[in-house]
Amino acid sequence: MIEFEIPEKIAGICTVIKSVADNMMRPVSRYFDEHEHEIPWDYITFMQTATRAMGGSSMAPSEKREGPRLGFQRLAFMVEMLSWGDAGIYLDTPGGMLGSAAVSATGTPEQKERFLARFKNETPTFDAMCMTEPQCGSDTSAIRTTAVLDKDESQWILNGEKIFVTAGHKAMVDSKGFIVIWATIDPKAGRAGMRPFVVEAGTPGCQVTKLEHKLGIRASDTVSIVLQDCRIPFDNILGSPEVVTDKATTGFKGAMATFDATRPIVAAQAIGLARAALELLKEMLTEKGITIRYGLPRQKLTSIEKDVIDMEVMLRSAWLLVIEAVWMMDNGKPNSLESSMCKVRAGDVVNKITQKAVEIMGPLGYSREHLLEKWFRDAKISDIYEGTGQINRLVVARQILGYRSSELR
User: Known catalytic residues?
Assistant: 386
Give the closest residue to 184 by CA, choosing from 166, 197, 172. 197
Contact 127, 179 (CB under 8 A): yes
Nearer to another protein, 215 or 313 (CB): 313
Q: Please tell me whether residue 71 binds another protein under the rule CB under 8 A.
A: no
Angle (CA) 301 302 303, round 5°: 120
- What is the residue-wise DSSP string for 83-134? HHH-HHHHTT--S--HHHHHHHHH--HHHHHHHHGGGGSSS---EEEE--BT
Give the closest residue to 75 by CA, choosing from 296, 242, 315, 267. 267
SS3 state of residue 177:
coil
Give the closest residue to 132 by CA, choosing from 59, 206, 183. 183
| Smallest separation (angstroms) from another protein to the CB of 1 | 5
Number of Cβ within 10 Å of residue 115's Cβ equals 24
Where in 182-201 is the site for another protein (CB under 8 A)? none
Give, for 336, the enclosing helix (H) or strand (E): helix 336-366
Q: Please tell me whether residue 257 binds another protein under the rule CB under 8 A.
A: no
Binding mask 380-409 vs another protein (x if CB under 8 A, - otherwise)? ----------x--xx-xxx-xx-x---xxx
Where in 263-302 is the site for another protein (CB under 8 A)? 294-300
Choose the stretch contacting another protein; rule: CB under 8 A; options: 29-37, 99-107, 119-127, 313-321: 313-321
* Alpha-carbon torsion angle 66, 62, 106, 225, nearest 10: 170
User: If you compute the radius of gyration of the chain from its CA atoms, what whole number of angstroms results?
Assistant: 21
Question: How many of the chain's residues bind another protein (CB under 8 A)?
Answer: 46
Q: Please tell me whether residue 137 binds another protein under the rule CB under 8 A.
A: no
Q: Please tell me whether residue 35 binds another protein under the rule CB under 8 A.
A: no
Q: Please tell me whether residue 54 binds another protein under the rule CB under 8 A.
A: no
| Smallest separation (angstroms) from another protein to the CB of 138 | 13
The residues, any chain, with a CB within 8 Å of residue 61's CB and separated by 6 or more, are: 71, 72, 74, 75, 104, 330
Q: Please tell me whether residue 11 binds another protein under the rule CB under 8 A.
A: no
| Smallest separation (angstroms) from another protein to the CB of 267 | 12
Q: Please tell me whether residue 344 binds another protein under the rule CB under 8 A.
A: yes
What is the largest distance, in Å, between two alpha-carbon atoms of the chain?
A: 78
| Smallest separation (angstroms) from another protein to the CB of 349 | 9
| Smallest separation (angstroms) from another protein to the CB of 13 | 15
The Cα–Cα gap between 30 and 316 comes to 27
DSSP 61: P
Q: Please tell me whether residue 212 binds another protein under the rule CB under 8 A.
A: no
Nearer to another protein, 245 or 406 (CB): 406
Nearer to another protein, 60 or 391 (CB): 391
Number of Cβ within 10 Å of residue 124's Cβ equals 24
Q: Please tell me whether residue 327 binds another protein under the rule CB under 8 A.
A: yes
Query: What does the buried/exposed string (b/e) look like for 282-293 if buried means 16 or more CB atoms within 10 Å of the residue's CB?
Result: bebbeeeeeebe
SS3 state of residue 387:
coil
Nearer to another protein, 72 or 115 (CB): 72
| Smallest separation (angstroms) from another protein to the CB of 355 | 18
Nearer to another protein, 1 or 53 (CB): 1
Nearer to another protein, 34 or 139 (CB): 139
Q: Which amino acid, 127?
A: D
| Smallest separation (angstroms) from another protein to the CB of 369 | 31
| Smallest separation (angstroms) from another protein to the CB of 408 | 6
Q: Which of 309, 355, 364, 384 binds another protein (CB under 8 A)?
A: 309
Nearer to another protein, 244 or 304 (CB): 304
Binding-site ranges for another protein (CB under 8 A): 1-7, 68, 73, 294-300, 309-310, 312-314, 316-318, 320-321, 323-324, 327-328, 338, 341, 344-345, 390, 393-394, 396-398, 400-401, 403, 407-409
